[in-house]
Amino acid sequence: MTRILVIEDNADLAFGLRNNLEIEGYEVRVAADGISGLEEARSFGADLIILDLMLPGLDGYRVLKALRTEGSTPVLILTARAEEADKVRGFRMGADDYVTKPFGVMELLARVEALLRRAGSVDRDGDSSERLGDVEIDRASRSVTRAKAPVELTPMEFDLLVALVRRRGAVASRIELLQEVWGYGTGVVSRTVDTHVAELRRKLEEDPARPKHILTVRKAGYRVDG
């Protein structure tokens, strides 16, 4: 059974999340603060973690930082903080998705399913590798190097990079990328793609403000060159 850990200090919300996730067939455990949440994450063996940012004891950002030093379990941030800067910080620290309160239960369940599907998928291109300038992408080991130095990418950043490289030279729209990488429906409007592209540029481009490889095609989407 797929295991999900919910780290949320609002008891009513945590109960509702647990109830809905268990109805979907997941095994769910709940932690009410950052310290116990981190302990549960280490002992429970969760396949996905839903993490609030505003937690007592240890805030969600510090929990996320600790999680990312210890593994790559998908993390979905669930928070009332809707500012763009908070989202960028969360993604930069390794979050895989970001949902703001209030939220629709069906949307949350869809995002959970998409994250789990991506985390459990096997790359169809086997052990092939790709090169993008001085960046080398190894699909088999899901690793990336730049000028032979390792680059740490989140699971979603890696999947987005592979999706763009597969289309080398062709434009990928935001909707196409949301469907392929995140598993969202056609009606979803999100800045997630733009935020993740900005992170890829920060990590892989020599000058992120003037990218040479991950290019924006105005009013169309993104394409890879090089």
Confidence of residue 63 (pLDDT cuts 50, 70, 90): very high
Instruction: Note the pLDDT of residue 11.
Output: 95
Average pLDDT rounded to a whole number, residues 2-19: 94
Question: Which two three-digit tokens encode residue 186?
Answer: 């056609």
Average pLDDT rounded to a whole number, residues 64-88: 85
Confidence of residue 47 (pLDDT cuts 50, 70, 90): very high
Q: Where are the alpha helices (DSSP H) in the chain?
A: 11-23, 34-44, 60-70, 84-92, 105-120, 155-166, 174-177, 192-204
Q: Count the residues in the chain.
A: 226
Within 8 A by CB and 6+ apart from 87, the residues are 98, 191, 195
Instruction: Note the pLDDT of residue 19.
Output: 94
- pLDDT single digits (tens) 188-219: 556 889 999 999 999 999 999 999 999 999 98
Structural domains of the chain, with CATH = 3-120 (3.40.50.2300), 129-224 (1.10.10.10)
Euclidean distance between CA atoms 121 and 21, whole angstroms: 21
Q: What rounded mean pLDDT belongs to the chain?
A: 87
**pLDDT over 70 percentage in the chain:** 93
- pLDDT single digits (tens) 86-131: 888 888 888 888 888 888 888 888 889 888 877 765 344 444 678 8
Mapped to the 3 state alphabet, what secondary structure does 62-127 carry? HHHHHHHHHCCCCEEEEECCCCHHHHHHHHHCCCCEEEECCCCHHHHHHHHHHHHHHHHCCCCCCC
Instruction: Note the pLDDT of residue 92.
Output: 84
Q: pTM of the full predicted structure?
A: 0.63
**pLDDT over 90 percentage in the chain:** 48
Find out whether 14 and 36 touch, Cβ atoms under 8 Å.
no
